[in-house]
Chains A and B, each alone.
Chain A
C-alpha cells in the first residue's frame, strides 16, 4: 500500500479540539465533517488542500485529548493522505486505523522535513522516503491483526468481509 503526498507540517500536542472543534460535534455527515478539518488550528485548511495530496507531518502526541472519531473522519474526508507523527494520542491512533486513514509513527522524519517535501510511504514494506531530501526511514511494523484492519480500508469493511466469510458473530 503506497501513499504519496506533500509535507504539511504541524507542531507538538495537536489535540482533537484543534483537529475538530467541539462546536461542530453535532455534525454526522462525513462530507460536512471534512470541511472543518483542523479548524481549531488552521481555519480553511480543508479548502486549501482541496486539489492537493497532503501528508500531515506532526511532532509528538498528535491527536491527544478527546475520543471524538470526527477528528480522523475530518482529516480523511478533507483528503489528507496520511499522518506521520513522532507519536500519537492513543484513541486517535485507533480511530484513524479503524477509519482507514493511514497513520505512521516516525521519530526521525520531523526535524529534517519541510513544507512541500514529497513523501512516499510504503506501508507494507515499512519504509518512508522523503524524495525531495533523498532520505529514507524504516517504520515499525503493526501487529498483524491491526495491519489487517488498516490495509483492508478500515474496521467497517473488515467486519463486512468477516460477515461475508461467515466469521462474524451476528
Chain B
C-alpha cells in the first residue's frame, strides 16, 4: 500500500484498502471557511444538533476578511454564533489569515492525519504528509454530524523532481511547469506524490506551493514523505504524537513523471487557463495594471521576501498598482520584523490585512474590464478576480514583483541586481 492508503485504511478501521474502493473514514480535522454558510444550513437540514467533536472542527473567516458587504457580514455572524454555541475552540476570525497557512501555524496539521475542508486548495497539506482534501458544504456537514466521510481511495501519480532550482525561479514556477505537462485534468481523482532532490531541498513553504496547485491538475490530495524539514516545522507548532507511515516498496504507482528542473526559467500561465504555461522568455510583452502578491499560494514570508528584495529602495511603476496581502498574521508579523513590509510600502505597495484578498474576485482589488493583472495566486479563470473581460497572468512572487517595478511582464532575473538568490 501507499502511505496515503495506509492513512485511509487506519482512518477507516480496516487493514487494507485498494485504489478505486469506497471507504468510510474518520476525519481528524474538518475546516469550514466563510464562503459556506451552507455547511450550517445543511447540518440543520439533515437533523444535526451537536457537532461530533468540537475539538476536531475549525472555522476560518478568510475569504471575506474583513466583511465587504452586509450579506457576508451576516453570514460570518451566523458562523461565529454557531462556533460559540457548539463550543468549538478553533475559531480563526478575520484577523487570522488564509486557512491553509493558519491551520499548520496553529498546530492543527500533522503527518498521517485526515484533514477535510470546504476549500479545493486543501491539497496543500500533503506538504506535511497529511491526507488533505477539499469538499463541498453538504459533505462537510455530514462530517460535522458523524465525524466520517466516504472517500474513493485514489490512485497515486509519482512526480520526481530532479536537478536543482536556479536563482530567480521559485516553487510556483516548478508547479506551473508541471501543469503545462500534466494539464488541468491529468490528475483528476488521483493523488500526486512529489519526490526527488528538488523536493528534498525545498522549505516547507515551497512544498506547500507545489502541493497547493496540484488541485489545478485535478488532484484529490498530495503527499510528500515527511523528513527532517517537515518535522522541524511541525514540532515548532504541534506537540501531539503521530507516526509516519511508509509506502510499501512494491506499491505500483498509476504513473511516474520525471522532470529535470535544472534548466527551468520563470514560468507564466497566460489567460484564461492555468495550464497555458510558457517560459517567461516566450511570454508576450504586456503592460500590467495590477500586481497581486498573496494567498495560500504566494503569500508566505519567502514570497514577500522575494518581492521586497526586488523592490527595496525602488518604486512601483506609476501606471501599475501592487497589492500585497500576507497569508497570515504570523507571516505579516515576521515580514514586518524583517523589514519587508516597510520596504514594500515605501516602494508604493498597497498592503491589506491577512486573508484571501482579490484572489476570488470578492473584494480588496477586483479588476475592471480590460485590465491586466499579474498575480502570485493560483487561478486565472475568466472573471476569477473581477470582470470576465480582465486578463490574469499567473506568475511567481518574484516575477510579480519585477512586473510591478517595470509595469510590464518582466523576468525577475533581469532586475535582481546583486546576483543573489531571489
Contact = CB atoms under 8 A, between A and B. Distances in A.
A28 B78 CA distance: 12
Interface stretch (A1-9, A86-94, A108-116, A118-126): A86-94
A141 interface: no
Contacts of A159: 46-47, 142, 145
Interface string B130-173: 00001111110010011100101000000000000000000000
Interface stretch (B34-42, B228-236, B252-260, B405-413): B34-42
Interface stretch (A46-54, A58-66, A74-82): A58-66
A40 B138 contact: no
Interface in B210-251: 216, 218, 220
B218 A28 contact: no
Given A98-B136, A146-B22, A28 B38 contact: yes
B329 interface: no
A146 B47 CA distance: 21
A23 B362 contact: yes
Interface residues of A, number: 45
B-side interface mostly: loop
A154 B42 CA distance: 11
Interface residues of B, number: 54
A67 B119 contact: yes
Contacts of A73: 38
A95 interface: yes
Contacts of A67: 118-120, 134-136
Given A68-B35, A95-B139, A98-B136, A40 B382 contact: yes
A25 interface: yes
Interface string B249-286: 00000000000000000000000010000000000000
Interface of A: 13, 15, 17-18, 21-23, 25-28, 40-41, 60-61, 64-70, 72-73, 87-91, 94-95, 98-99, 143, 145-146, 154-156, 159-160, 163, 168-170
30 contacts: A13-B184, A15-B379, A17-B384, A18-B383, A22-B362, A23-B361, A25-B360, A28-B37, A41-B382, A61-B218, A64-B218, A65-B379, A67-B118, A67-B120, A67-B134, A68-B35, A72-B136, A90-B189, A90-B220, A98-B139, A155-B138, A156-B45, A156-B46, A159-B47, A168-B146, A169-B145, A169-B146, A170-B50, A170-B52, A170-B145
